[in-house]
C-alpha cells in the first residue's frame, strides 16, 4: 500500500465507493456539458466512459480525514484534519469489482492528476497482464489506448501526480 495516511481500510473503501458513484451520476446528470466535451476531446466514447465508471466532481469538496478512515496524526500531513477532493474527472481504478484507487484529473489535459489519499496504487494496470504491456504517463492517453487496444495489450498508466491534502 502506498499511502501511510490510511487508518481504517473498510471506512475508506465505503467513502471512496460513495464518492465514485456520486461522481459517476453527476457526469450523466445535469450541467455536465464541460466534462463530457472534455472526455470527447480525449477521444473517449460514452460507452467506454460508462464502462470505466468515470465521473465528474464539479466542485472541490473538503472532507474530514477521520470520516474517510485516514490517520489525522500522520507525521507528514501538512494540515491535520482535512482532505480536499478537487474538481475534475474522477477515474476509479477497479480490479475484479474492488476499488483500488481513485484519481481526479482537472479539465486540463496537461495538468497533474490528484491521487486520493488512502488509495492503494499510484498507477493503473488495465487489461490482461499476460498480454504485452505498454506503459504511458498521460492518464487520458492511457485510457484512450486501453479503449482502442484492450484486446491486444495491457496498458500501465503512471500519471503525473500531485498531492492536495488541506
For 16-82, the three-class secondary structure string (H helix, E strand, C coil) is: HHHHHHHHHHHHCCCCCHHHHHHHHHCCCCHHHHHHCCCEEECCCEEEECHHHCECCCCCCCCCCCE
Residue 163, in any domain of the structure: no
CATH number for the domain including 52?
3.90.980.10
Query: What is the number of other CB atoms lying within 10 angstroms of the CB of residue 20?
Result: 22
Residue 52, in any domain of the structure: yes
Residue 133, in any domain of the structure: no
Containing structural domain, residue 48: 9-120
Residue 25, in any domain of the structure: yes
The pLDDT tens digits for 108-165 are 888 899 999 889 999 999 999 899 999 999 999 999 999 998 878 899 999 989 754 4
Residue 2, in any domain of the structure: no
Residue 18, in any domain of the structure: yes
* Burial track 86-113 (b if 16+ CB lie within 10 A, e otherwise): bbbbbbbbbeeeebbbbbbbbeeeeeeb
Query: What is the number of other CB atoms lying within 10 angstroms of the CB of residue 117?
Result: 25
At 7 the pLDDT is 67
Residue 153, in any domain of the structure: no
Tally of structural domains, the chain: 1
Q: How confident is the model at residue 4 (pLDDT cuts 50, 70, 90)?
A: low
The pLDDT tens digits for 31-82 are 889 999 999 999 999 999 999 999 999 998 888 888 888 876 655 555 567 8
Predicted TM-score (pTM) of this structure: 0.89
DSSP-derived pairing of the beta strands 113-115 and 161-162: parallel
Residue 127, in any domain of the structure: no
Amino acid at each position: 500500500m502506498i499511502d501511510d495516511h490510511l487508518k481504517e481500510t473498510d471506512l475508506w473503501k465505503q467513502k471512496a465507493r460513495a464518492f465514485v458513484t456520486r461522481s459517476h451520476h453527476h457526469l450523466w446528470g445535469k450541467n455536465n456539458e464541460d466534462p463530457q466535451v472534455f472526455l470527447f476531446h480525449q477521444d473517449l466514447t460514452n460507452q467506454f466512459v460508462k464502462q470505466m465508471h468515470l465521473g465528474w466532481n464539479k466542485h472541490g469538496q473538503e472532507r474530514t480525514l477521520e470520516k474517510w478512515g485516514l490517520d489525522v496524526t500522520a507525521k507528514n500531513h501538512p494540515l491535520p484534519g482535512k482532505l480536499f477532493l478537487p474538481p475534475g474527472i474522477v477515474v476509479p481504478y477497479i480490479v475484479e469489482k474492488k476499488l483500488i484507487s481513485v484519481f481526479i484529473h482537472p479539465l486540463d489535459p496537461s495538468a497533474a492528476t490528484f491521487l486520493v489519499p488512502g488509495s492503494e496504487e499510484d498507477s493503473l494496470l488495465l487489461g490482461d497482464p499476460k498480454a504485452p504491456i505498454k506503459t504511458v504517463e498521460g492518464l487520458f492517453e492511457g485510457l484512450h489506448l486501453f479503449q482502442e487496444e484492450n484486446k491486444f495489450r495491457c496498458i500501465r498508466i503512471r500519471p503525473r501526480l500531485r498531492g492536495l491534502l488541506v
